[in-house]
Amino acid sequence: MALTFTDISAPVGIRNGQTPVGNKPGDLEIVKDLFDRISMDNGGSAELFGVWSKNRDDLIQEVTDQIITFQTKNGMKVIDGVLDRSGGTLKLMNKLASDRLLTRMLAEPKWEDWGYDNLPPLSTDKAPETMWELPFGHTGSPGKMSTRAYECDKAMGTPHVGVGWPDGVKPSAYLLYFHHSIGQEGADYASSGARFSKGIGDYMIGRMKGLDSIGWSGKNVCLVVPEPTFSGQGVFEHNEKLVTEALKEIDADITGETRDLPPLLVASYSDGLGRMNSFMSSCPNLRKTVQGMYDFDGLLVTRFASITLANWAKGGAQVFRYVGNSSPGFLPKETRQFYLARCVNQSPKVIPLPKSRWVNHPRYPEFTTNPGWAARWWMHFYIPSCMLYHGLANTNGI
């Protein structure tokens, strides 16, 4: 049974084969979606994977024929080829429809960023573990990416989810990205439009450079970003059943087939570390499939200093912790190379990123032009823009 009752705004179909009714585009999409969640044995079209005509007149006829099939198979008293608002046929369709947590938005999402430029990738994915002064500016271009957005059922606790993956492939892993809290930037995120287009977009195309990082890494990974709300990212933080179903729906929509979910990856920025850790604690079956974890400077958030991620590393996940101002200190007489080796050979792996490693970054002059802000926040701000590429490229098994 569907989690919530889905109604239409006006009748859909052709009444008694003669009289076309409202057939509003949005209502046609709702009806198609319901039929695609009902088995053919029950008069639906689930096994056809959403193959409907794109021509409006043909689509109306197809929907009408499907309504008649549904009404006939289910012994409805009236078989007229029409769905009325809140009518008996529609109520039965809702009852027979399987849960669908996500509904794909029809338009290609117009992701937006917050206007930050000069955010180059690392020139090589090996640099953070081997070179003190980080080199920037990868040659060539990242692979082309596709994106989609989904509206979420209210049960999900977040309005939308955005996804992006390499063109023309079936993802070999899904990456859940846990957002930083947006309360401290409440004015920027005040509108629902900003939370959707920029809240997700900042992780897709903006400062976090999620799509570019996947493209540079060469991995067939699908990035999944639940829209942030002022209370978090809904069930993605703690509800294994609903997260699993949502990921399965995304996978079926992208691949056009039903299969076992591929491995998972999880990432967090700033205090998203708490959300990522909650997911790992609350979702034991999904946790077993996690191949890689990427913590982007969560150690700067003092209230989460006790989250070591060590248990998850012991459980088999490859854990990368990228640390700026909270980088470990040097041992007496320790060289930079020995320091790097000591940090990165820990479990979880620690990638120390203090100020002196960033001198080649084009925004490094901000340490002079905005010294107060830079001293506190610079590394925290820019770590996620280039380090996901490193993590993905160096994660085995995906």
Domain identity same for 72 and 179: no
Which CATH number do you get for residue 377? 3.40.50
Nearest by Cα to 105 from 70, 52, 149? 149
Confidence of residue 236 (pLDDT cuts 50, 70, 90): very high
Domain identity same for 63 and 157: no
Please indicate, yes or no, if residue 4 is contained in any of the structural domains.
no
Domain identity same for 138 and 61: no
Domain identity same for 29 and 155: no
Residue 140: pLDDT above 80? no
| pTM, two decimal places | 0.80
238-274 core/surface letters (b: 16 or more CB in 10 A; e: else): bbeebbebbbbbbbebbeeeeeeebbbbbbbbbbbbb
Domain identity same for 165 and 298: yes
- The contacts of residue 118 (CB under 8 Å, 6+ apart) are 362, 363
Tens-digit pLDDT profile for residues 242-289? 999 899 999 988 998 888 999 999 999 999 999 999 999 999 999 999
pLDDT at 361: 98
**Single residue among 38, 65, 100 that ends a domain in this structure:** 100
Domain identity same for 152 and 215: yes
The number of beta carbons lying within 10 Å of the beta carbon of residue 279 is 25
Tens-digit pLDDT profile for residues 215-234? 999 999 999 999 999 999 99
**Single residue among 100, 115, 142 that ends a domain in this structure:** 100
**How many structural domains are present in the chain?**
2
Q: Which amino acid is present at 355?
A: K
Per 3-state DSSP, the chain is made up of helix, strand and coil in percentages (nearest 5) of 40, 15, 45
Domain identity same for 170 and 73: no
Please indicate, yes or no, if residue 329 is contained in any of the structural domains.
yes
Tens-digit pLDDT profile for residues 289-313? 999 999 999 999 999 999 999 999 9
Residue 1: pLDDT above 50? no
pLDDT at 257: 85
- Tokens for 128? 């953070």
Domain identity same for 135 and 214: yes
Please indicate, yes or no, if residue 122 is contained in any of the structural domains.
no
Domain identity same for 77 and 226: no
17-26 average pLDDT score: 91
pLDDT at 153: 83
Confidence of residue 3 (pLDDT cuts 50, 70, 90): low
Domain coverage including residue 94: 12-100
Q: Please answer whether residues 380 and 302 qualify as being in contact, where contact means their C-beta atoms are separated by less than 8 angstroms.
A: no
Q: Please answer whether residues 111 and 208 qualify as being in contact, where contact means their C-beta atoms are separated by less than 8 angstroms.
A: no
Nearest by Cα to 106 from 32, 174, 206, 41? 32
Residue 139: pLDDT above 70? yes
Tens-digit pLDDT profile for residues 336-369? 999 999 999 999 999 999 999 999 999 999 999 9
Domain identity same for 52 and 140: no
Domain identity same for 264 and 309: yes
